[in-house]
Amino acid sequence: MKKIVRGVVLCVIVALLAALPWMGNTVLVQFGINLLLLATLAQGWNIIGGYTGYPSFGNSVFYGLGAYGVAIAMVQYHLPFWAGMLIGLGLGVAFAGLLGLAVLRLKGHYFAICTLGLALVMTAIVSNLEIAGSNIGLVLPLHTGEALFYELALGLLVLTTLTIFWLSRSRFGVGLIAIRENEEGAAVLGVNTTLYKILAFMLSAAFTALAGGIYAYYITFIDPAGVFDVVLNVKMIIMAVFGGPGSVLGPVIGAFVLSATSEVLATKVTSIASMFFGVVIVVAVVFMPRGIIDLVKNLRQAGWRYFIGNVRAHRL
């Protein structure tokens, strides 16, 4: 019964979100597109970082590849947007597959840093590619109206979230969680860990690349520093971790809460807003390291002791 209520509530929320462009207010729609794309990125990261436990700092590469797939297809070859999306998707997934073979053997810090290095290498390489407009970037054809992009972004977020919902109750998803908790143990129990990890990386890349493609056509101008931005990668991680990594709705909630907060702050106190973001990360990691989802689950029982408990558990 509770599950049905929850499902109905979620459907109503999605319907309300979908209706937003028809209620006017362009500013809100523009904010919405950015927010929905960020939430998709957080969800994409959730698959590899939250479920599989491999903290990728290289997901911005897939975002950039998706964006450049669309941009190069539309600008250099005059293909339609949809073809560009497919190309970007293919680039992102193929790259994740190839790369996964090499880097998913690394653990912990080494994996995080190797993927970060990759993001930096890709930025530098694309800045030197003529077909990608070198470091000047590419200007895409103009489009008509933001509503389409808003609905696309919403659709992609729903699709990503449904995939994670499926993941959380499938054999595949359980295998990923087993890898996160104890990789050797998972292998002993018959999980093909290499295959599972690479598939998770490719799935994560697919959604991230699609988000990049939508962004490229929507913003109509991309350059290497913009779409391969490491800060974007950190943002998606923070949103996922703030909401609750390894949960179905946590990253979406994290993205909505953090985006809304920073948007409100940016209009009130511009220069402090970015710094506030840093303070939020520090405070959140100290007091609620398992995210909002875990906080909501435990706050009612433990009250303020929940925060003290977290600090006790992890301090020296």
Partner 1 sequence: MALFVQVLVSGILLGGLYALMALGLALVWGVLNIVNLSHGALIMLGAYVTYFLVTGAHFDPFAALPIAAAVLFAIGYAIQRGILNLVIRGPMFNTLLITFGIEVVLMYLAQLWFSADYRTINPGYAGASYAVGGITIPFVQLIAFAIAIGLTAAMWLFLLHSRTGRGIRAAAQNLVAARLYGVSPKRIYALTFGLGAALAGVAGGLYGTVSQINPYIGGALTAKSFVIAIIGGLDNPLWVIVGGLFLGVIESLTALFIGPTYRDVASFGILVLILIVRPSGLLGRTA
Q: Which residues bind partner 1 (CB under 8 A)?
A: 55, 102-103, 105-110, 112-114, 116-118, 120-121, 123-125, 127-128, 135, 230, 234, 237-238, 241, 271-272, 274-275, 277-282, 285-286, 289, 311, 313-316
Residue with tokens 């597109």: 33
What's the distance, CA 166 to chain centroid? 17
CA distance 168 to 164: 6
- Write down the least CB distance from residue 193 to partner 1, Å: 16
Cβ proximity to partner 1, 74 vs 122, nearer residue = 122
End-to-end CA distance of the chain: 44
Q: Which residues contact 187 (CB under 8 A, 6 or more apart)?
A: 193
Cβ proximity to partner 1, 300 vs 315, nearer residue = 315
- Write down the least CB distance from residue 14 to partner 1, Å: 30
- Write down the least CB distance from residue 107 to partner 1, Å: 8
Residue with tokens 């991680």: 237
- Write down the least CB distance from residue 310 to partner 1, Å: 8
β-bridge pairing 221-222 and 138-139: antiparallel
Cβ proximity to partner 1, 142 vs 282, nearer residue = 282
Cβ proximity to partner 1, 75 vs 118, nearer residue = 118
Contact status, residue 35 vs residue 48, Cβ threshold 8 Å: no
Cβ proximity to partner 1, 107 vs 143, nearer residue = 107
- Write down the least CB distance from residue 293 to partner 1, Å: 16
Question: Alpha carbon of 224 to those of 39, 85, 109, 133, 135: distances in Å?
Answer: 22, 18, 26, 9, 6
